[in-house]
Amino acid sequence: MSPAHQREPHTHDDTAAKEAAILERLRADGGRVTTGRRAIVRALLTGPDHHVTADDVARVVQAEHPDVHLSTIYRTLDALEHLGVVDRVNLGPGGAIYHLTDHAHHHLVCESCGTVIEVRDELFTDLARRLDEQHGFAMPARHLAIVGRCKTCRDEASSRD
């Protein structure tokens, strides 16, 4: 899981390669590559958090390209979602989060502090099988979000709840 290397998890070359690959997919789909789209893709790849809202992306992008409009962010994220490059996870009121699909997992969202915990999807395979068997229901393989309460907020709550 964690090699002995003391280097950053991703080198710049790594990020640049992924960026190029994604832009290539946009082109392959008949789309165009613009300054705005390049910045949005870069924001998705280099952001500190792997789970970002449209607004998060906008802030990062607009820091360098103030003229990239929020609607462009939404349209581009939508295009990337259709290409299968990003997943959109709806979190009810308060907005959705986006993340790259190369990062397959489910999400535990704390209703109290908003923290997103990633969970390996193997934890859900039993459940998925049973939902299929008993209800014929196909659980999404990715981008499932369960809203509950994280450890920290539970501990805080137990002192006063």
Partner DNA sequence: GTCGATGCAAACGTTTTGCACACTG
Partner DNA sequence: CAGTGTGCAAAACGTTTGCATCGAC
Question: Per rule CB under 7 A, is residue 75 in the interface with DNA?
Answer: yes
Q: Running DSSP on this structure, what letter comes out for residue 6?
A: -
CB atoms within 10 A of CB 138: 9
Of residues 83-112, those binding DNA (CB under 7 A): 93-96
Element (H, E) at 81: helix 70-82
The least CB distance from residue 23 to DNA, in Å, is 8
Beta carbons of 131 and 139 less than 8 angstroms apart: yes
Of residues 1-60, those binding DNA (CB under 7 A): 26-27, 30-37, 53-55
Indicate which of DNA, a copy of itself, none lies near residue 21 (CB less than 5 to 8 Å, by partner kind): none
> Looking at beta carbons only, is 65 or 142 nearer to DNA?
65
Query: In 3-state terms, what secondary structure has residue 59?
Result: helix
For the four alpha carbons of 41, 45, 46 and 48, in that order, the dihedral sign comes to: positive
What is the rounded distance in angstroms from the CA atom of residue 127 to the CA atom of residue 159? 33
> Looking at beta carbons only, is 43 or 54 nearer to DNA?
54
The least CB distance from residue 77 to DNA, in Å, is 8
Interface residues with DNA (CB under 7 A)? 26-27, 30-37, 53-55, 65, 67-72, 74-76, 78-79, 93-96
